[in-house]
Amino acid sequence: LWDSVEPRIRATYRPMNHLDELAHANSVSFSSTGEKIFAGFERCIRTFDIHRPGRQTSERLLCTRKDKSGQRGLISALAECPERPGLLAAGSYGRSIHFYTEGQRGCTAWCKDPTMGGVTQLTWMSDLEVVSARVKCVE
């Protein structure tokens, strides 16, 4: 976390995978309250507490290699609903957007459009409406 007032590092956050190795995030987003950092990886979302530098505080596994259900692919975009803290939209290069509620297992709702490409950006317009930007599908 970089301080923009005094140009220096305030804190570092290290995402660790299941083998206890350092992993890299494909997407990063702050919570609407600024208390958490959400990071998207392949088939999982890791959450960091802004006041507790170091390792992730929680991890949400979205699907497994054997399981056909759940959100597949790299999580390429994340956005928390400003009107409903705890409601997170996650877009993937697997052409899907899933909605997750903090403290609940599984996804709340999802949508997939096989005619479009992977999701590159998500923005909440209201508490019930999400706008997505996608890569053009060339098939």
How far apart are alpha carbons 47 and 88 in whole angstroms? 11
pLDDT tens-digit series, residues 75-107: 999 999 998 888 999 999 888 889 999 888 877
pLDDT tens-digit series, residues 1-38: 888 899 999 899 999 988 899 999 999 999 989 999 99
Q: Are strands 109-112 and 75-80 parallel, antiparallel or unpaired?
A: unpaired
| pTM of the model as a whole | 0.86
pLDDT grade, residue 137 (50/70/90)?
A: low
Choose between 115 and 37: higher pLDDT: 37
Q: Are 60 and 106 in contact (CB under 8 A)?
A: no
- Measured between alpha carbons, how far apart are the two ends of the chain, in Å? 40
DSSP single-letter state for residue 79: E
- HSE-CB for 27 with a 13 A CA cutoff: 24
DSSP string for residues in 82-114? SSSTTEEEEEETTSEEEEEETT-SS-SEEEE-T
pLDDT grade, residue 138 (50/70/90)?
A: low
How far apart are alpha carbons 25 and 3 in whole angstroms? 20
